[in-house]
Amino acid sequence: MSSKKTLSMAIAATIAASGRRWAQDATDTPGLGTPLSEEDLAGLSTTVFPDGEGLPPGGGTVQDGKVVYQDQCAICHGDKGEGDEQFSVPALASDGKPDHGFKWSTGHAWPCATSIFDYVRVAMPMFDPKGLSDEDVYAVTAYVLHLNGFLPEDGEVTQESLPKVKMPSQDYFTSKWEKEESGYE
């Protein structure tokens, strides 16, 4: 037997034996951490799906969103959601579908209004992620939709109405879940 093959077999046997030892010691843990209750775990699940599954109860108005936006968002995204290309801050709003590139705003590039809510709730504001209440997130989402012309100035979004907002790019995307549910392969 060659020395390389012998060495390889010896390493494999050592790893296999070590794995069995680690598996045997799995119950012998250092006791770090605290077990989570079902309630604590439920609070960690924040995913919002296109159909609105996962949205919390509540809602927000464009007018309330304007106040929150000016206080929490405008410093980076600009007063009208124009973003800042120099610092790679994405545009949240635009007057219409641009040809390509950075000018694609959130309102014209994202296929689902629920995605705006989900992203704002989890990642914004940049200096305090998850720092906004659900009502503030609904309000900012309503304001961003208004900046893009998808909601009137007196508009509002709720847990029920947000998934029904038709986004311009919705037709450019397909849903893996819809295909699987329809039996399409």
pLDDT tens, position by position, 111-130: 899 999 999 999 999 999 99
Look at residue 80 in the predicted model and tell me its pLDDT: 93
Q: Is 25 a domain residue?
A: no
Q: Is 9 a domain residue?
A: no
Q: Is 128 a domain residue?
A: yes
Task: Check: CB of residue 139 under 8 Å from CB of residue 64.
Answer: yes
Domain span at residue 58? 47-182
Query: Tens digits of per-residue pLDDT, 156-166?
Result: 999 999 999 99
Query: Tens digits of per-residue pLDDT, 3-59?
Result: 666 666 667 666 666 555 555 455 666 778 888 888 877 767 788 999 999 999 999
Domain of residue 59, CATH code: 1.10.760.10
pTM value is 0.73
Task: Check: CB of residue 65 under 8 Å from CB of residue 140.
Answer: yes
141 falls in which pLDDT band (50, 70, 90)? very high
Task: With CA atoms as reference, report the closest residue to 72 among 167, 156, 141.
Answer: 141
Q: Is 79 a domain residue?
A: yes
Q: Is 161 a domain residue?
A: yes
Tokens 């397909």 belong to 174
Look at residue 44 in the predicted model and tell me its pLDDT: 74
Interval 139-156 mean pLDDT? 96
Q: Is 156 a domain residue?
A: yes
Strand partners, 59: 158
Query: How many domains does one find in the chain?
Result: 1
Q: Is 111 a domain residue?
A: yes
DSSP codes, 82-142:
--BGGGTBPPS--SS--SSGGG--HHHH-S-HHHHHHHHHHH-STTSTT-S-HHHHHHHHH
Q: Is 100 a domain residue?
A: yes
Residues 6+ apart with CB under 8 A from 20: none
Look at residue 69 in the predicted model and tell me its pLDDT: 98
**CA–CA separation, 21 and 28 (whole Å):** 11
